[in-house]
A and B are shown apart, each in its own frame.
Chain A
Amino acid sequence: MSGAFGYVGRRVLVAVPLLLVVSLVSFALTELLPDPSIARLGQHATRENVAAFRARKGLDDPFLARWGRFVRDATTLEFGEDLVRDDGTTVGAGIRSRFPATFELALAAMLLAVVLGLVAGALGAVFPRRLADAVAQVFALVGASVPVFWLGFMASLLFAVKLEWLPHPDWSLRVIAPDAGPGGYATRFLFLESIARLDLGAVGRALAHLALPAMVLSTIPLAVVTRMTRATMLEELGRDYVRTARAKGAPETRVVTRHALRNALIPIVTVTGLQTGALLGGAVLTETVFAWPGLGRYVAEAVRSGNGPVVVAGVFTFAATFVVVNLLVDIAYVLVDPRLRRGGAT
């Protein structure tokens, strides 16, 4: 047990300099962003207003002084003040209030990708070069190739405009739980909290509003998981232990799910962890297309308006999430591979 703690501790320690480098590089890149005084003050501002705004926000200070201030503010997880929403709101508060929307969207997309990907990949491996395999392969290829923003517009047009099966996503307490009242849903996890409250109406509305963006966001990880599952399952199904299991008369379902699939899981889990990074990147596009009030849209809007602290803090949060998810993936190895429990993770 202490070995596991030591392992996690080492990974966390490695993450600290990594995140510092991420912050420095992304902070340097924000030098290329447009002047936030335009987004904050608009075209009608005078020279004096622009100068006062820049002085107030310390935008004319030397680069290292500004980065140092950012790192100092990052230690309190507040990341300084939002430059464009100029009402004293900290970037940390902005990120905390938007993170749940991104988390729930990413979770839904990842669940879709993993569940459908495992099923489609396993079917493809069990029935190679048959219709189910061909369909899964085509979907995987299309999913990996079609740009998310295009797919988003098309999916909206089809499901929300033409067929009217789904609403245009509107992830707001006003829509999901209109009766919650003040102080309701304090966690801001609209979907998870509506499940916890067993509010079926809210769960239904949350699912309906989640469906389109989650479907669009899941396409790339779905394609990757499907192909990876198919490839590793094909490999596993050809191994001796599978032949032995079949020879012993084990039912085919058990051979596939209990033996082959379980052994194929390690690379799938790895790829799922790595795909989380792609998913967060995809969230920037998906959230923009669907006006989803999450972290991705916050960062995308900040890039357009030159809101540097939001961009850096957003990248920082994405990086930290990526590190945490990969740490969880490492821990998941231990769960799926009993050999690692004995030898300790390396």
Chain B
Amino acid sequence: MTSTTRRALALVALGLAALPLGCGKAGPAGGASAGGRTTFVYARGKDSPTLDPAEATDGESALVLVNVYDTLVRFKYGAATVEPALAVGWEAADDRRAMTFTLRDGVRFHDGAPCDAAAVVANFERQRDLAHPFHFTAPGQPPARYPYWGDMFGSVAKTSVVDVRTVRFDFSEPMPPFFLSLLAMFSCSIVSPKALARGAGYVKTHPVGTGAFTWVGRDNEEITLAANPSWWGGKPAIDKLVFVVVPELKNAYARLESGQVDGVDNLASKDVPRAKANPAVKVHEVATGLSVCYLAMNNDRKPFDDVRVRRAVALAVDKPRLAATAYEGLATPIATLVPPGVEGHAPLADRVRDVKEARRLLEEAKAVGTKVTLRYMGNPRPYAPDPGAIAAQLRDDLRDAGLEVELRKDEWGSHLKAMQNGEHELGLLGWTPDVPDADNYLYVLLDKEGAVPPANNVSFYRSERFHGLVAAARRAYDPGERRRLYADAQRVAFDDAPLVPLVAMPRTAATAAGVEGFVLDPVSSPRFAWTSKAAQAK
């Protein structure tokens, strides 16, 4: 036997001897954690593109940000209402053109810097003022507004330091009634000024906040955080929080069942009944989903420029069947885009499917037999777990009424772009709001100001009456008056039928049975400050 052969055989023997050490039923997630420390592994579908809160617009970045950073106010754990966080109190001026916030005493950033009024103001001013040294601009490019600031905080004229614990916001017009909810968004996370001073590259990759967890590092798509022992809310029960990317939902759920992860960020509809039947798994759902799915009709294109055709489409769609089949019974049919439970929702009685009446309307509009294309996305979305099944049922429903519907599937990016540019006749789309308020559905998705390509109002609905009501609601501070205006706006939209609201989809997640204190937030990304699991002794 040559020495090479002997070496090869030794290597094979080494491998075979070692194999049993790694085989068998997988151990608990996180592997061996030294000294009984707990590691919580949470699986999600994608990586975080950026960790600068001012630049982030997506849920995956938000998942990291809400655990590392605090905001002045925050959404109550498991609720859509706000409560104090870095600010312990606030007061609005009578004319709604100024607001002062009193900061929590003694809070420090993870790098030791104090979280005082100057730090808070630096964070808001860097977003507001394009010339601010911390308003990061790419070399050779003109400064651009940060995503949420331009869209939602346009009325903030200035923020300033009153004293070391007091911050003042001045508004150029009366502030929006839902301003506190805006401040609870992850884009208003307070970043350490010392970190900001290190530049854009640092802030995007090394989040330094005051939150429950501190940044440890990332290994490709795997992000690790550690408990912040001096968090003002108390040290979190888990020592290490790891976010891993598992793109396929089924794959992620299988890892939860085998104990390789402690939680999964989303469940495939088909896995929900199986998960509920498994005693080793806890399913978490938000009772009323904030994500809505709708069938958009391009009001600029024939035959959908005719309200009779749009009403016929609305009459032809069988929403209860859609919710029961394509959504596996998990979604709730909706009559208006604002789902139940959201401030401003109007409890409208929905149209009952009536194919005869739908056909009569189409005949009246001379649209029977018209060939139209229904575009849908190839990838699952939070409001459409199986877009192909939804589109197929819509096609069949509309065919019953007399429209010849062809389906066209596109990859998500291409689909959204085509819809935003008005290249569709019919199209499947949905929305997950930034704040739980009727404004974030009605103004964004149906107001005429949003009907310019690339549009969020992909129905290209331009009703002056609707616009008047929504604009008035934006200035109404009396809750009763706001509700009345939004109810009227929803009745107008229901009657004009620029789109067909289909269903509201609840958010789901699952954790191992031994995990305690995990609550799925309706608005915020999951926060782990109050989550615990049994410690693993080595």
- Interface code A16-48, partner B: CB below 8 Å = 1, 0 otherwise? 000000000000000001111011111111111
- Which of chain B's residues 223-278 have a Cβ closer than 8 Å to chain A? 224, 242, 244-248, 251, 254-255, 257-258, 260
A87 adjacent to B219 (CB under 8 Å): no
Question: In chain A, what residue has the closest Cβ to B33?
Answer: A178
A-B CB pair tally, cutoff 8 Å: 176
Given contacts A46-B151, A52-B144, A200-B21, whether A85 and B47 have CB atoms under 8 Å apart is: yes
Given contacts A34-B412, A209-B22, whether A200 and B17 have CB atoms under 8 Å apart is: yes
Asked if A49 lies at the interface with its beta carbon under 8 angstroms from chain B, I say yes
CA distance in complex: A39, B59 (Å): 12
Given contacts A56-B138, A206-B22, A304-B379, whether A86 and B258 have CB atoms under 8 Å apart is: no
Q: How many residues of B contact A (CB 8 A)?
A: 68
- Interface code B203-217, partner A: CB below 8 Å = 1, 0 otherwise? 011000000000000
Question: In chain B, what residue has the closest Cβ to A301?
Answer: B247
CB B197 to nearest CB in A, in angstroms, measures: 17
Given contacts A164-B24, A204-B19, whether A43 and B431 have CB atoms under 8 Å apart is: yes
Which secondary structure dominates where chain A touches chain B?
Answer: helix
CA distance in complex: A39, B48 (Å): 11
B205 adjacent to A87 (CB under 8 Å): yes
CA distance in complex: A144, B221 (Å): 33
CA distance in complex: A289, B254 (Å): 12
B22 adjacent to A204 (CB under 8 Å): yes
A55 adjacent to B141 (CB under 8 Å): yes
CB B186 to nearest CB in A, in angstroms, measures: 12
Q: Which residues of B contact A85 (CB under 8 A)?
A: 47-50
Among A33, A40, A173, A204, the most chain B Cβ lie within 10 Å of the Cβ of A204
Q: Which residues of A contact B138 (CB under 8 A)?
A: 56
A207 adjacent to B204 (CB under 8 Å): no
Question: In chain A, what residue has the closest Cβ to B219?
Answer: A173
CA distance in complex: A164, B254 (Å): 11
Q: Which residues of A contact B414 (CB under 8 A)?
A: 34-35
A161 adjacent to B144 (CB under 8 Å): no
Contact partner of B260 (CB less than 8 A), chosen from A56, A168, A204, A288, is A168
Contact partner of B57 (CB less than 8 A), chosen from A41, A166, A170, A205, is A41
B26 adjacent to A167 (CB under 8 Å): yes
Asked if B58 lies at the interface with its beta carbon under 8 angstroms from chain A, I say yes
Asked if B220 lies at the interface with its beta carbon under 8 angstroms from chain A, I say yes
Question: In chain A, what residue has the closest Cβ to B206?
Answer: A87
Q: Which residues of A contact B145 (CB under 8 A)?
A: 48-49
Question: In chain A, what residue has the closest Cβ to B16?
Answer: A207
Asked if A340 lies at the interface with its beta carbon under 8 angstroms from chain B, I say no
Q: Which residues of B contact A209 (CB under 8 A)?
A: 22
- Interface code A42-64, partner B: CB below 8 Å = 1, 0 otherwise? 11111111111001100000000
Q: Which residues of B contact A170 (CB under 8 A)?
A: 244, 255, 260
Among A98, A156, A304, the most chain B Cβ lie within 10 Å of the Cβ of A304
CB B163 to nearest CB in A, in angstroms, measures: 35
B11 adjacent to A208 (CB under 8 Å): no
Question: In chain A, what residue has the closest Cβ to B15?
Answer: A207
Q: Which residues of A contact B219 (CB under 8 A)?
A: 97, 172-174
Contact partner of B258 (CB less than 8 A), chosen from A34, A36, A167, A206, is A167
Which A-B residue pairs are the 9 nearest by beta carbons? A34-B413, A204-B21, A208-B22, A52-B144, A204-B22, A205-B22, A204-B18, A87-B204, A167-B26
A residues with a Cβ closer than 8 A to B are: 33-36, 38-52, 55-56, 84-89, 94, 97-98, 156, 160-161, 164-168, 170, 172-175, 178-179, 195, 200-201, 203-209, 211, 288-291, 293, 297, 301, 304-306
Given contacts A35-B413, A167-B22, 7 further A-B contacts (CB under 8 A): A51-B144, A85-B47, A168-B258, A174-B224, A211-B23, A293-B220, A293-B221
Can you list 5 contacts pairing A with B, beta carbon distance less than 8 Å? Answer: A85-B47, A88-B204, A168-B254, A203-B15, A293-B221
